[in-house]
Structure formats: structure tokens, C-alpha cells
Amino acid sequence: MEKTIRLLLLLSGNRKYSIDELKERFEVSERTIFRYLNRLENAGFIVDRQDGKYIFARDTSEIKSLHRLFHFTEEEAIVFYHALSHLELENEMMDRLLKKLHSLYDFQALKRIKNTPSVEKVKLLTQGINNKKRVLLIDYRSSNSSTVSDRMVEPFQYMEDYKAIWCLDIEDCQNKQFKISRIADVKILNTPWLYEHLHKLPFHDAFRMSASEVITIVKAILTLKAYNLLREEYPVSEQYLKKVGNRYQLEIPVADFHGIGRFVLGLPGEIDVHEPEEFKTFLKEMRKRFDD
């Protein structure tokens, strides 16, 4: 049960894993990994196999429902699992505890927004998501454009705290985050979604930076000090670390150089960056700014 939960969290992330990588990570046989995968597929999760590597199909209703149920970011899910993994509980009790926490967390999330001005807007936006209808965000106050205007969108997923929602903006067909507090009112339209295939959450890297997709893979060697600090400050990074001798190899996808750059520059002499050259150039330019 414990390893099945770990596999569920792992394959719900942004990285694909080969069977050999999964065997090494969970310290089980190939046959056992396939048994875990079959168990999850029987539960309704679709495993996407690409070039011999595995990940859950992120656009399925099961994965979307999982994210809505947990209301966790990937980083929070890892912290949550680590907390549970230190409890010495039998499998049946662990299963029962997880189910209770899932339902209680969802209840508390809804309770927090009860009797606030945002409730009716959340209700209408939820109807738009469930019925796959476009909605009109009336008098949306945009900080980016410094305008107040009506925005026709296709809403498809809330942020974890219900303070914002991801929508496809019909005007430019871009996925954007809209703050619910900045919406004056919501009107459900009769027009169905036309661009569901474009609904996509941006990539979030371990350093809490986001972009439409991974910009590059950063490769580096870390000392024990850097390794410990990286795992403590950015828990999602753990899956991209590997022990090599008395050092630690990091091979991690990033959305922006600023997040990982701040971490590297904060530990002079503790991290040896190998690739890519663009990141090395970025670090040199940042060091020059500090020196100036």
C-alpha cells in the first residue's frame, strides 16, 4: 500500500520514469512494479507509456479529480507523504486514514470559503467546469493590463486554495490564472468548450518557478551540505537527486533560471554546475551584478 501511494504521487508529477528507474527507487523487482501499475490502472488511472518511460495521462478525469480532491501542490503532496511514512501504522489503518484525510480536507476547503462574497462565483465557475461551458468573467480587474473588462473564458481547474482559477482566455487562446476576488460577477454561457485540447497547466519546477514547458535540464554535482539544503527547502527536487560516491548528482528540469540560480549562488563552492552552458552564463552575469 505504501509503495503504491508513492508510485501514485511520483507518476502524477511532471517527470517520466523507466521501469529500471522505478525498480531502483522502490527497491523491488520488475514484476512488482508492473503489479503496482496494474493496481493503479484498475483503479482508473491511465498510464501513458512513451519511449519506454511511464507517467499518468494528466488530461484524464481521474488525474484532474485527484488534484481537485487533494488540493495539494506536488511539493505539498511529497511533504504529506513523508509525514505519513514516519507513522508506524498497519496498511488497513493507513488506507482508512488517507480516505478520512481526503474527505476532511475537501470539507475544510469548502468550509473556508463559505459565507464569503466569493461563494456564488465559485459555484458558477464549478458549474462551468462540470458542464464544460464557457463563462463570462464580468468586470475582471486585471493588474497586468491595468484594465477592467469582461473576459470570455473556458474555466478548467482551481488553484489549491480556491483563490484563483485556471482558464483558457478566448481572446488569445492562452491559459491564464484569474483571481476570483478580482471578478465582479460570473455568467455561464450556452457555448460549450471548443478548446479543451488546449487546456493545460503550466510546468512548475522544484524551485516554484513556472513556464508553459520545461526550458532545459540543469545538471550539477552537490556536496552533502547542498544536498541537505536542497531537499529541505525544495522537497520536489528529491526525485532528481542521485548519490555518486561522496557527492550527489542533480539532473533537474527547470522553468526559469532565476529560481535554481538563487539557490546555487547562495551556496558558493558547494555546487558544481555541469550543464547547460546557458545556465553557466546566467550565473556569471548574476555574479557580476552582485560584485557591482
Higher pLDDT, 13 or 129: 129
In words, the CATH class of domain 119-198 is mainly beta
- Within the chain, all domains assigned CATH 3.30.70 are found at 204-291
Which among 182, 177, 180 has a CA at the least distance from the CA of 113? 180
- The stretch 11-24 carries a mean pLDDT of 77
Tens of pLDDT, residue by residue over 212-255, are: 789 999 999 999 999 999 998 888 898 899 999 999 999 999 98
CATH of 204-291, one of 3.30.70, 3.10.28, 3.40.50, 1.10.8: 3.30.70
Contacting residues for 113 by C-beta, under 8 A, at least 6 apart = 119, 122, 162
In words, the CATH class of domain 2-112 is mainly alpha
- Within the chain, all domains assigned CATH 1.10.10.10 are found at 2-112
Which among 143, 131, 254, 128 has a CA at the least distance from the CA of 202? 254
Tens of pLDDT, residue by residue over 79-114, are: 555 565 555 555 555 555 554 444 444 434 444 444
How much is the pLDDT for 182? 92
Mean pLDDT, the chain, as a whole number? Answer: 79
Dump strand ranges (E) for the chain.
Answer: 17-18, 47-50, 53-56, 133-142, 147-158, 164-169, 174-179, 185-192, 203-204, 210-211, 216-222, 241-244, 247-254, 271-275
